[in-house]
């Protein structure tokens, strides 16, 4: 029974496919998986947008949308209809083809990332040995689409936003990769399925998630920071910067293309949350051994939604960074720490079991953190910029 | 320590988030169509015409002097004077507006018309739910739509309306005294054979705000010049 609940979607797919002739079964299976992903994550996107609007409202002591349907629950539907029926405006001087392709590329690329994510037990669309590499390669393509959007719009705000986006995404891609490489070093595999299997073990009823190790904890925090920046999410939302750049690279987009950008952004966030979950939070494994009876896919989705809630919480809390602060933070704080984290992960790997490695690894990371924060960021070239003629 | 501020901020937003569900005073939003805040007394949006008594057409205080029309910065008032005279609320024959239109889509709620009116005839309304599907005709108010009773004025701006009423009563008393004095003088002169002449003086003296009418006249005379210069 438990096994059936866990594998319900797999069994359902097999049952559906069994009606087809044998030749068609394999492609139909793949197609079903693709459709499932394309249906599920936009649905989650709708829920997330509602959560975000209501949650942010509560954080700012207001109600948030509460007019459409009971408690405003149908707000995403209303938003969807609105964006579908709005006029699609393409600026006269825009490069129409690239302007059209940019949102399409973003959405396609963002959905491709899900191909390698293990959503549940036996629920990976493509079992790829270098799944992590594929995810990052695909993820890097979002920069292209962002720049296409900014460049083709022929609008100074769009171009500024796109420039900022590219600078930011390239800067934060490095720590994002570096913090993930630590996991690869420990697991010895680029396969996301293998990484989850390595964490899906329990001692004393507690899971072997990488976040519960010193290097994993530091790696997760660095990964979270880099992922936030990578998805252009507040406080790193400079490319969009409503207050100074109107909407950044999608200023010139309206109607459904705008909605596609919106969708791409959120689905991308969910994708990177899924990757973070897979790398550090044990993927689809249960947080306690006794909870193992709950279906694996439930854990994956609840972990994703939980991290979306954290994204919303952070957005409701932090103001936007300045461009120089953003770059300083990436190159002078996050990157050195993630490189140190690689070293610590190596230490962890070769020191063998025992309290000794816990103490040493934690001490190195903590010392580095304090040192970087206290000394590094207060140093005049790293800290807040002072303007000579400001006073 | 780096990150301390972030944690503090996260704590603050979490407190707000949880608090907004338990304590109602955190949520300051007034959910408008269902809940309303009573407007403060100084609220104003668009002008209306005050009338005394129960019949709006008879009781209209406006005497079509057109000062407001000339003073209106966006020129949203349009007045057509009557050619005949009609007794106003006090029974005096007065010119009245045949047409008095205000285009509230043009009006900027500056209250200058109210300030220049010597007859306390135009006041600011508090009604703000004026949306209409007809953006031209629906927002152009004629004198019937603009006419509102003095009682209504008392309900929306009680203090101001009381002041206005006191001032009008005072002016009326003054005018009455003057009229009485004139009548007495006329009676004293009754011996003289020219009987209809004093009656005429009574009428001219009784035109209610005895002091302000000439002022209004001069104002009216000066303004077009100013317009040309501007």
What's the token pair of residue A92? 């006269």
**pLDDT value at B207 more than 60:** no
Q: State residue A93's pLDDT score.
A: 86
**pLDDT value at A220 more than 90:** yes
**pLDDT value at A47 more than 80:** yes
Contact A382/B at CB under 8 A: no
| Domain-located, residue A350 | yes
Q: State residue A223's pLDDT score.
A: 93
**pLDDT value at B214 more than 50:** no
**pLDDT value at A340 more than 60:** yes
Beta carbons within 8 Å of B95's beta carbon, 6+ residues apart? B63, B64, B81, B82, B85
Q: Do residues A231 and A269 make contact, with C-beta atoms less than 8 angstroms apart?
A: yes
Contact B218/A at CB under 8 A: no
Contact A319/B at CB under 8 A: no
The arithmetic mean of pLDDT across residues A219-226, rounded, is: 92
* Sequence-separated contacts (24+) of B196-203 with Cβ below 8 Å: B203/B92, B203/B93
CA–CA separation, A6 and A296 (whole Å): 6
CA–CA separation, B80 and B96 (whole Å): 9
| Domain-located, residue A385 | no
Q: State residue A226's pLDDT score.
A: 92
Q: Give A250-290 pLDDT, tens digit per residue.
A: 888 888 888 888 898 899 999 999 999 999 988 888 888 88
A7 compared with A305, residue with greater pLDDT: A305
- The count of domains in chain A is 1
From the centroid of its chain, how far is CA A264?
Answer: 11
Q: Give A352-363 pLDDT, tens digit per residue.
A: 777 888 888 888
From the centroid of its chain, how far is CA A160?
Answer: 24
The arithmetic mean of pLDDT across residues A49-76, rounded, is: 88
**pLDDT value at A238 more than 80:** no
- Tell me the three state secondary structure of residue A64: coil
Q: State residue B211's pLDDT score.
A: 44
Q: Give B176-200 pLDDT, tens digit per residue.
A: 888 888 888 888 887 666 555 555 4
Contact A63/B at CB under 8 A: yes
Chain A residues lying within 8 Å of B23, measured CB to CB: none
| Domain-located, residue A192 | yes
Instruction: Give the one of A316, A369, A372 whose C-beta lies nearest to B13's C-beta.
Output: A316
What's the token pair of residue B50? 């005050």
Q: State residue B210's pLDDT score.
A: 45
Q: State residue B112's pLDDT score.
A: 92
The arithmetic mean of pLDDT across residues B81-99, rounded, is: 81
Q: Do residues A145 and A102 make contact, with C-beta atoms less than 8 angstroms apart?
A: yes
Beta carbons within 8 Å of B168's beta carbon, 6+ residues apart? B120
Q: Do residues A131 and A116 make contact, with C-beta atoms less than 8 angstroms apart?
A: yes
Q: State residue B228's pLDDT score.
A: 46
| Domain-located, residue A386 | no
Omega before A182 within 30 of 0, i.e. cis: no
Lowest-pLDDT range of A90-99, A171-180, B118-127, B209-218:
B209-218
Q: What is the CATH number of domain B47-164?
A: 3.30.70.3270
Q: State residue B36's pLDDT score.
A: 87
Q: Give B111-142 pLDDT, tens digit per residue.
A: 999 999 888 889 998 888 888 898 888 889 98
CB contact under 8 A, A61 and B26: yes
The arithmetic mean of pLDDT across residues B56-69, rounded, is: 86
Instruction: Domain ranges for chain B, please list them.
Output: 47-164, 174-229
Q: State residue A352's pLDDT score.
A: 78
CA distances (Å), origin B73, targets A251, B6, B67, B77, B110: 37, 52, 12, 10, 8
| Domain-located, residue A389 | no
CB contact under 8 A, B13 and A59: yes
Interface probe with B: pick from A61, A310, A312, most Cβ of B within 10 Å? A61
The arithmetic mean of pLDDT across residues A312-336, rounded, is: 85
Q: State residue B54's pLDDT score.
A: 83
CA–CA separation, B121 and B65 (whole Å): 11
Contact A318/B at CB under 8 A: yes
Contact A369/B at CB under 8 A: yes
What's the token pair of residue B149? 């009773």
The arithmetic mean of pLDDT across residues A45-60, rounded, is: 90
As a dihedral over the C-alpha atoms of residue A137, residue A29, residue A9, residue A196, rounded to 10 degrees, the angle is -30
| Domain-located, residue A388 | no
**pLDDT value at B208 more than 70:** no
Q: State residue A253's pLDDT score.
A: 87
Beta carbons within 8 Å of A160's beta carbon, 6+ residues apart? A150, A245, A248
Q: State residue B223's pLDDT score.
A: 44
Q: Do residues A265 and A232 make contact, with C-beta atoms less than 8 angstroms apart?
A: yes
| Domain-located, residue A383 | no
CA distance B16 to chain A (A): 5
DSSP B127: -
Residue among A240, A105, A99 nearest A163 (CA): A240
To the nearest whole number, what is the mean pLDDT of chain A? 86
Chain B residues lying within 8 Å of A371, measured CB to CB: none
Name the one residue in this structure whose structure tokens are 């807040």: A384
Chain A residues lying within 8 Å of B29, measured CB to CB: 62-63
Lowest-pLDDT range of A104-108, A146-150, A309-313, B209-213:
B209-213
What's the token pair of residue A183? 């996991």
Q: Taking a contact as any Cβ pair under 8 Å apart, which residues of chain B between 8 and 27 contact chain A?
A: 9-10, 12-14, 16-17, 19-21, 26-27
The arithmetic mean of pLDDT across residues A139-166, rounded, is: 87
Residue of B nearest to A369 (CA): B2
Confidence of residue A303 (pLDDT cuts 50, 70, 90): very high
Q: Do residues A113 and A145 make contact, with C-beta atoms less than 8 angstroms apart?
A: no
The arithmetic mean of pLDDT across residues B205-214, rounded, is: 46
| Domain-located, residue A221 | yes
Domain range for A154 is 2-376
Contact B31/A at CB under 8 A: yes
DSSP B60: B
């Amino acid at each position: 029974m438990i096994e059936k609940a866990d594998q319900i979607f797999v069994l359902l797919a097999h049952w559906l496919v069994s009606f087809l002739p044998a030749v068609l079964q394999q492609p139909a299976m793949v197609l079903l998986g693709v459709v499932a992903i394309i249906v599920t994550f936009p649905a989650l996107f709708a829920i997330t947008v509602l959560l975000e609007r209501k949650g942010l409202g509560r954080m700012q002591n207001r109600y948030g949308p509460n007019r459409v349907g009971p408690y405003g629950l149908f707000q995403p539907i209303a938003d969807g209809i609105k964006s579908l029926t709005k006029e699609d405006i393409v600026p006269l001087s825009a490069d129409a083809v690239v302007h059209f392709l940019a949102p399409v590329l973003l959405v396609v690329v963002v959905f491709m990332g899900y191909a390698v994510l293990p959503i549940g037990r036996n629920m990976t669309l493509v079992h790829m040995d270098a799944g992590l590499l594929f995810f990052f390669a695909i993820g890097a393509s979002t920069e292209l689409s962002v720049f296409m959007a900014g460049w083709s719009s022929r609008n100074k705000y769009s171009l500024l936003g796109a420039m900022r986006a590219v600078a930011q995404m390239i800067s934060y891609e490095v720590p994002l990769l570096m913090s993930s490489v630590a996991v690869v070093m420990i697991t010895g595999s680029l396969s996301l399925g293998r990484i989850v299997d390595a964490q899906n073990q329990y001692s004393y009823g507690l899971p072997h998630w990488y976040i519960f190790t010193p290097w994993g904890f530091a790696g997760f925090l660095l990964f979270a920071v880099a992922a936030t920046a990578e998805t252009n999410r507040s406080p790193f939302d400079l490319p969009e910067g409503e207050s100074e750049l109107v909407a950044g690279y999608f200023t010139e987009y309206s109607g459904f293309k705008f909605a596609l950008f919106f969708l791409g952004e959120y689905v991308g966030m969910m994708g990177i949350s899924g990757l973070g979950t897979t790398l550090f939070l044990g993927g689809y494994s249960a947080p306690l051994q006794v909870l193992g009876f709950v279906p694996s896919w439930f854990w994956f989705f609840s972990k994703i939604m939980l991290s979306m809630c954290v994204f919303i919480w952070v957005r409701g809390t932090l103001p936007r960074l300045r461009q120089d602060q953003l770059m300083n933070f990436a190159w002078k704080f996050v990157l050195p720490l993630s490189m140190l984290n690689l070293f610590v992960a190596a230490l962890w790997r070769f020191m063998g079991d025992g309290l000794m490695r816990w103490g040493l690894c934690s001490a190195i990371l903590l010392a580095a953190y304090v040192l970087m924060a206290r000394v590094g960021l207060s140093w005049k070239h790293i800290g807040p910029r002072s303007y000579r003629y400001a006073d | 320590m780096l990150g301390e501020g972030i944690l503090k901020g996260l704590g603050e937003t979490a407190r707000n988030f949880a608090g907004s569900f338990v304590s109602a005073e955190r949520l300051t939003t007034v959910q408008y169509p269902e809940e309303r805040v009573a407007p403060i007394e100084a609220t104003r949006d668009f002008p209306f015409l005050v009338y005394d008594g129960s019949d709006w057409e008879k009781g209209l205080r406006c005497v079509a002097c057109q000062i407001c029309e000339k003073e209106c910065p966006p020129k949203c008032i349009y007045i057509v004077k009557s050619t005949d005279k009609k007794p106003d609320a006090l029974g005096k024959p007065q010119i009245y507006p045949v047409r008095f239109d205000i285009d509230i889509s043009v009006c900027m709620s500056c209250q200058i018309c109210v300030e220049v009116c010597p007859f306390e005839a135009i006041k600011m309304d508090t009604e703000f739910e004026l949306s209409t599907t007809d953006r031209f005709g629906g927002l152009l108010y004629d004198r019937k739509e603009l006419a509102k009773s003095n009682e209504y004025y008392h309900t929306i701006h009680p203090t101001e309306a009381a002041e206005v009423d006191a001032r009008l009563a005072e002016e009326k008393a003054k005018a009455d005294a003057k009229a009485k004095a004139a009548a007495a003088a006329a009676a004293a002169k009754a011996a003289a054979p020219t009987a209809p002449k004093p009656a005429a003086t009574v009428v001219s003296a009784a035109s209610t705000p005895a002091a302000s009418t000439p002022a209004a006249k001069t104002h009216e005379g000066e303004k077009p010049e100013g317009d040309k210069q501007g």
